[in-house]
Amino acid sequence: MAKPSQSSFVVKYDDNNQEFSIIGSMRPQDVSELEACTKLLETSLAGVRGTFYVNVKRLVRLNNIAFHVLAGSLVRACSERPDLRVAVITSSVVGWSTRKFGALNKVNPNIVVEEYDSEFYPGQSFLEEGEFIPILRTQTKMTWRHERNILPRHGMREGLTIADICCGIGDFAVLVYKEFKPARLVALDHSRSSLGYARKVAADFGIQGIEYIYGDAAEMLLEDEQFDFVTCRHALQIFNKPDLILKELFRICKPGGRVYVTNEKISQCLGEPRGESIQWTYDELSKLFAHFDMDLEFGPKSRKFMVEAGFDDVRMESFMVTNLDGDPQDFADIVKSWEELFAGGMSQQRGDSAEFVEKFRRGFQDHLFAALHPKGYAGWPVWVASGRKPA
Ligand SMILES: C[S@@+](CC[C@H](N)C(=O)[O-])C[C@H]1O[C@@H](n2cnc3c(N)ncnc32)[C@H](O)[C@@H]1O
């Protein structure tokens, strides 16, 4: 008796980009199950010139029967047509795919494999490395004082299914878990070191209800319409194509559910005394991020992006994290780490002069001075936006 098929996949061909995509799980028990797929692949191959792209970024599983069928078509086409090049686009999120398809390059050198996220958003590497962890911890501690009250105004309540996308070290997920007792909580990030840290913190605090997963926010393996509430904090501002991420957040949100994002407008960080120097440095910080294709001015633009992504009932507000929120030293710690990370690594990477770096550092030091001054005031504004996916 034939075993029931474990396949559940979609194949698409985009003629404009000469891109053949396979999404899902391809595990046929018999070659005949792939008839339609093979036919589409062969007719697509017959019509292309130059490079043919095979997108397997979201192909989660593939058995040997399917691999041989796909490989056979690609190898045959390349040996019949030496002008043809096949680029198989894999993702590090689906660990086996680069290795498996990479073997085809030995059979025919015109078949190459490109792991599209191996050099992902180069500017973001600053934000994915271990040294960013203490900053994220203190930042979340300070923003939570505000957000725990703000979140219910955006639809957060107990018992929801929640996803926190670009979760970083997972502190926000832990706080949400404790405060709002979700029915399910998934936290996704593309930094293995941050996720490792997040898992360790959860284990240390005996929290077992959070599913931490490695993934790419722009190409999530999560299925459509699963979550009542999707959060994505301080992350749209670091993507050069925030609309692509929002599209994914929209996709995984249930109709009637809400997506909640927070972002900054960094040039509006402020402080007194020494306001002028502080202002200069944060204006420059905004330009520094723009140099690496990141938009730290994104906050007030969130409404436009949410409306254009198809959300309705868009709600927006902003809050100011200040030195008066709690221990002023916490605020000072954040600013100190910004100075190290931005005036240190990032500014150096851009090739800034020693004079520039000195002045750039001074603004952070003045912000810190204002935060700790007995009559001083220092602030960091954050914008919150949420939108409903139409029912
Ligand atoms: C500025 S941090 C914010 C982290 C966290 N949401 C918070 O507020 O503390 C941005 C996060 O986005 C993650 N990230 C960057 N690119 C990503 C991608 N393509 N997919 C998933 N996560 C990504 C980084 O690893 C980092 O943890």
Ligand 1 centroid to Cα of residue 384, in Å, is 17
| 381 pLDDT above the threshold of 50 | yes
Which residue's CA lies nearest to atom 15 of ligand 1? Answer: 190
Concatenated DSSP letters for 244-298?
A: HHHHHHHHHEEEEEEEEEEEE-GGG-EEESSHHHHHHHHHHHHHHHHHTT--TT-
Torsion of CA 19, 25, 26, 30, to 10 degrees: -160
Mean pLDDT score of the chain: 92
| 128 pLDDT above the threshold of 80 | no
234: tokens are 């301080």
The string of pLDDT tens digits covering residues 41-98 is 999 999 998 999 999 998 999 999 999 999 999 999 999 999 999 999 998 888 799 9
**Predicted TM-score of the model (pTM):** 0.82
Which residue's CA lies nearest to atom 10 of ligand 1? Answer: 235
Query: 3-class SS at 231?
Result: strand
Range in 34-43, 100-109, 160-169, 194-203 with the lowest mean pLDDT: 194-203
List where CATH 3.40.50.150 sits in the chain: 122-388
Ligand 1 contact, 91 CB (< 6 A)? no
| 120 pLDDT above the threshold of 70 | no
Ligand 1 contact, 219 CB (< 6 A)? no
Ligand 1 centroid to Cα of residue 234, in Å, is 8
List where CATH 3.30.750.24 sits in the chain: 8-115
The count of other CB atoms within 10 Å of the CB of residue 78 is: 21
More confident residue, 207 or 252: 252
Ligand 1 contact, 128 CB (< 6 A)? yes
Which residue's CA lies nearest to atom 13 of ligand 1? Answer: 166
Q: What span, in angstroms and rounded, lies between the C-alpha atoms of 190 and 92? A: 9
Name the fold adopted by 122-388. Answer: Rossmann fold (3.40.50)
Ligand 1 contact, 147 CB (< 6 A)? no
Confidence at 115, pLDDT banded by 50, 70, 90: confident
Predicted pLDDT at 129: 55
The count of other CB atoms within 10 Å of the CB of residue 80 is: 9
Q: What span, in angstroms and rounded, lies between the C-alpha atoms of 287 and 297? A: 10
User: Which CATH number fits the domain 8-115, given the four candidates 3.30.750.24, 3.40.50.150, 3.30.360.10, 3.40.50.300?
Assistant: 3.30.750.24
Determine contact, residues 385/232, Cβ cutoff 8 Å: no
Residues near 181 by beta carbon (within 8 Å), at least 6 away in sequence: 158, 159
